[in-house]
Amino acid sequence: MTKKEPRIQQLIAVFREAILAELKRQGRSRYWLANKVEQSSANTVYQYLRGEVNLGSHRLAEILEILQIKLNPTAKVSKPAKKKKR
């Protein structure tokens, strides 16, 4: 594993959390989003939102556009919140 891989995984988790937070803020469901994404199957979007798979940059960009999430390239990335164990 290279030194970059943990950083990439951290960024992937930050994107996923931002998408889920924005869905909640807009009062939209994962179902709604999965059916809006044209470049991917609904199942792939569900798997991405559960953290089971990663999406390519084009699909991720489409999701960000659908939700109207703007990126700030100069912002610092914080560590994603740890999931609570059940």
Count the alpha carbons within 13 Å of 81 in the hemisphere toward its beta carbon. 8
* For the chain, domain boundaries: 4-66
Mind listing the pLDDT tens digit for each residue in 36-63?
A: 998 778 899 999 999 999 888 889 999 9
> Residue 82: its pLDDT value, please?
66
User: Helix 4-26 crosses helix 42-50 at what angle (to 10 degrees)?
Assistant: 110
Mind listing the pLDDT tens digit for each residue in 4-19?
A: 588 888 888 889 999 9
28 pLDDT higher than 90: yes
Torsion 53-55-60-62 (CA) sign: negative
Stated pTM of the model: 0.74
Gap between the Cα atoms of 4 and 21, Å rounded: 26
* Distance from chain centroid for Cα 56: 11
